[in-house]
């Protein structure tokens, strides 16, 4: 069974088959006794978009769980940072050996990102399915 991650969130917006849920990401604020009176820069609300055919069952202000696979973060990191970095790094050495000019090699290596991000943009529906979260009703006793 695949490991899952779960975040407590509040529904901010409900539309046809789509929910926008706000989750509060904080590093050390969870156990602090004055967290309600603090304007800490470490506690930020993040918005998560969730496509769910049963979105009509939820209403704005409702507490929910955002549930996803623990591999979602690694996939997003790979597609968004690691793979483009590896492409630029490898192509920089290839173009440097071929062109013998560092400026043009660097420009060509950076230009390799253009088709990569075009492919990512055109694959966004497939990626949206791979990198998606689910919403479950919030139950206090179900931590």
Per-residue pLDDT tens digits of the chain, which is 143 residues long: 468 888 889 999 888 888 899 988 766 655 666 666 665 555 678 888 888 888 888 889 999 998 888 888 889 899 999 999 999 999 999 999 999 999 999 999 999 999 999 999 999 989 988 888 888 888 765 55
The two counts, helices (H) then strands (E), for the chain are 5, 5
- Angle (CA) 133-135-141 rounded to 5° is 125
Q: Which two tokens stand for residue 112?
A: 């390799």
Per-residue model confidence (pLDDT) at position 1 = 41
pTM beyond 0.85: the answer is no
Per-residue model confidence (pLDDT) at position 108 = 96
Per-residue model confidence (pLDDT) at position 128 = 84
d(CA 11, CA 99): 54
Per-residue model confidence (pLDDT) at position 67 = 87
Per-residue model confidence (pLDDT) at position 86 = 97
d(CA 79, CA 105): 23
């Amino acid at each position: 069974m695949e490991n899952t991650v779960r975040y407590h969130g509040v529904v901010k917006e409900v539309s046809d088959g789509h929910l926008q849920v706000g989750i509060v990401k904080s590093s050390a604020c969870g156990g602090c006794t004055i967290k309600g009176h603090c304007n800490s820069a470490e506690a930020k609300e993040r918005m998560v978009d969730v496509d769910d055919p049963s979105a009509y069952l939820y209403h704005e202000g409702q507490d929910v769980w955002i549930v996803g696979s623990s591999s979602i973060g690694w996939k997003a990191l790979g597609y968004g940072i690691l793979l483009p970095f590896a492409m630029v790094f490898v192509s920089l050495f290839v173009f440097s050996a071929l062109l013998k000019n560092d400026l043009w090699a660097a420009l060509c290596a950076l230009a390799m990102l253009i088709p990569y991000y075009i492919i990512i943009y055109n694959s966004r529906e497939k990626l949206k399915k791979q990198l998606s979260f689910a919403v479950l009703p919030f139950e206090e006793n179900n931590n």
